[in-house]
Amino acid sequence: MAHGSLVEDERRPDGTIERALTVFLAGAECPFTCSFCDLWRWTIDGPTPRGALPKQIAGVLESVEPPVPHRLKLYNASNFFDHRAVPVDDVPAIAALAQSFTGVTVESHANTIGDLTLEFGRAIRGRLEVAIGLETIHPEAMRHLNKRLDLARFDKAARFLADNGIDLRVFVLLGVPRVPPGASVEWAVRSAAHAAERGASVVSIIPVRGGNGEMDVLQAQGDFVPPTLAQLETALDQCIDGRASRTVFTADLWDIDRLPACARCRDDRVARLRRLNVTGRVEPPILCLACGAR
């Protein structure tokens, strides 16, 4: 069965608010083994069995209460266009389950974008969106992520999607290993801007989480400092402040309680981030006498 699901409101580039159903699928582990990633915890040993993913999706759809969400997001902690993670024989069944949605989002490494992407886009009724992890454009940090991705390959995938009428969603990281903490926000914002310039519909800023083993080693070596809640707030503010962009910038709030923050103003800051994610409008900063942050 699926690991879980989530229904939430999301803003789209045209300003509309849509309800999105995210299904967290259980399947094969991603082969790229990026140093920062902890999603392998939500995968299985070996290839995804045939029929498993359609069964998981159908089970979640049966439990969703009306009104029916507009968007279906299928996150499998791997690559949707990797045959080992998503068996080719299951793609028609998955497409059939997605027919009632006006938008469908899947996640996949830039290296897996190609003919199968186009086939799936043609098989669904709604518009396809592919989520790709850019992570960072910091040259040294990018080389050490073990992602096997460079800017040229990312840009090529972005052009391929745009040329074929497929939307692009991008993940960028805050707190990338080997980026000095004082420059962490700057590089997150620069990476988000690069994604927007390549046509991203949505850019999500994800704080790097520790605890996956590799990150603990990097932290002990001084190459990784966990980002703070204040840094995430600043990064999102800088992305949306004064930008004439159709791109939607959001802060990823998964495991938000793990981010270091002032106990007195934490809840207010998280609530502010939730509002910014939906409205995209600049708000006055929160002033806290306890920590001095704003």
For the chain, the domains span: 4-279
The closest of 166, 175, 167 to 205, measured between CA atoms, is 175
Residue with tokens 């790097």: 208
pLDDT of residue 181: 93
pTM: 0.95
Residue 209, classed as helix, strand or coil, is coil
Select the more confidently predicted residue: 111 or 293. Answer: 111
pLDDT tens digit string along 214-230?
A: 878 888 999 899 999 99
- Segment 101-123 shows an average pLDDT of 97
| Fold classified for 4-279 | TIM Barrel (3.20.20)
Sequence-ordered list of residues with C-beta below 8 angstroms from that of 172, at least 6 positions apart, any chain: 134, 135, 136, 188, 191, 192, 195, 203, 204, 205, 206
**Given pLDDT bands bounded at 50, 70 and 90, which one contains residue 164?**
very high
**Given pLDDT bands bounded at 50, 70 and 90, which one contains residue 294?**
low
- Segment 173-186 shows an average pLDDT of 96
The closest of 262, 263, 237 to 251, measured between CA atoms, is 237
pLDDT of residue 210: 80
The closest of 140, 60, 147 to 109, measured between CA atoms, is 147
Residue 244 has pLDDT above 70, yes or no: no
